[in-house]
Amino acid sequence: MDFLRPASWEEALAAKAEHPTAVPIAGGTDVMVEINFDHRRPEYLLDLNRVGDLYEWEVGEETVRLGASVPYTRIMENLRAELPGLALASHTVASPQIRNRGGVGGNLGTASPAGDAHPALLAAGAEVEVESAARGTRLIPIDDFYTGVKRNALQPDELIRAVHVAKADGPQQYSKVGTRNAMVIAVCAFGLALHPGTRTVRTGIGSAAPTPVRARAAEEFLNAALEEGGFWDNGKIITPSVAKQFADLCSAACNPIDDVRGTASYRRHAVGVMARRTLTWTWESYRGTRRASEGAA
């Protein structure tokens, strides 16, 4: 095993180009477990801790450009307003110690369906900024990023530099089921974002299919139902039947398995419950802000 310690992003890209099998390590919260338990013996470890850019974020007009290694703790503390769904998701990641080290880049690189960030990114809308020495930068839409169980759209010579997440234009929520009240891997997870600007709702489901997925049929149904009932304008409570059908469609979007963490049947059920609850919470919040702005006006 060789330990590569690039001092800059350019050096990191050069090293990855020279050694495409090199395994990037930043927070180490996935890679080191595999090494400690003898599940993996990479030829090269590519340490990204000295690449300072990866720890920075910029809040732009439309999006937040979030460095791949910005620890979850920083996201929770600093980006709660801009990225509320991701901040909530960050708070559910493992333990404080892990949140201090791990970042979204690791979740994306590992592409485990259980990664906590995925449903929030899918719901908010995001693009993954990847780069190679040979071909430069490209932006991969989050919807195209997950290609299989623990597989992603990254080329062997590419590294994840940042993720561009759409700034929240409405309420967002995130729920995760685990069999413990802290420090637990998701049995399944659900992210939901209201986008009043485009009058759309986006979702993200974790740990209930081979990859993180959106519940597209559920989104389409809800978008149509909200439009039809004039809900965005009248701010009425979403009828229980609409909420229920949305929840059922979210359950139907799952393609889960039975494993030691839970049954497929439970995952489908729980995603439905979380879909209904997160829709209620976000919609209540939307109605609240509407009322507040009307009151102010």
Interface residues toward other proteins, by CB under 8 A: 1-3, 5, 25, 27-29, 31-33, 35-38, 41, 45, 47, 49, 88, 91-92, 94-98, 100-101, 173-187, 260-263, 265-266, 268-270, 273-274, 277, 280-281
Residue nearer to other proteins on the CB measure, 5 or 138: 5
Which residue lies nearer to other proteins by CB, 101 or 161? 101
> Facing residues of 44 across strands?
2
User: In the complex, what is the shortest distance from the CB of residue 138 to other proteins, in angstroms, rounded to a whole number?
Assistant: 28
- Smallest gap from Cβ 20 to other proteins, in A, equals 18
Angstrom distance (rounded) from CA 183 to CA 74? 18
CB of 240 to other proteins, least distance (A): 13
Q: Which residue spans within 68-181 are E strands per DSSP?
A: 126-132, 136-141, 146-148, 151-152, 159-166, 172-177
CA distance 95 to 221: 37
Of 34 and 169, nearer to other proteins (C-beta) is 34
Strands (E) across 76-229 are located at 126-132, 136-141, 146-148, 151-152, 159-166, 172-177, 188-195, 200-206
Q: Are 65 and 55 in contact (CB under 8 A)?
A: no
Question: Two tokens at 271?
Answer: 């995603």
Say if CB 66 and CB 121 are below 8 A apart.
no
- Least Å distance, CB 216 to other proteins, is 23
Q: How far is the CB of 99 from other proteins (least distance, A)?
A: 9
Q: Between residues 2 and 220, which has the closer beta carbon with respect to other proteins?
A: 2
Q: Which is nearer to other proteins, 92 or 107 (CB)?
A: 92
Residue 246: both structure tokens together: 């949305």
- Our CB check for other proteins shows the closer of 97 and 147 to be 97
Q: Nearest 5°: phi and psi at 243?
A: -60, -40
Lookup result for tokens 């997440």: 165
Q: How far is the CB of 241 from other proteins (least distance, A)?
A: 17
Backbone angles phi, psi at 283, to 5 degrees: -70, -40
Lookup: tokens for 243: 């909420």
249 forms bridges with which residues in the sheet? none
Q: Which is nearer to other proteins, 233 or 258 (CB)?
A: 258
In the complex, the smallest distance separating the C-beta of residue 178 from other proteins, rounded to whole angstroms, is 6
Minimum distance, C-beta of residue 175 to other proteins, in the bound complex (Å):
5
* Residue 62 phi, psi (nearest 5): -105, -30
Nearer to other proteins, 132 or 173 (CB): 173
Q: Distance between CA 204 and CA 192 in Å, rounded?
A: 6
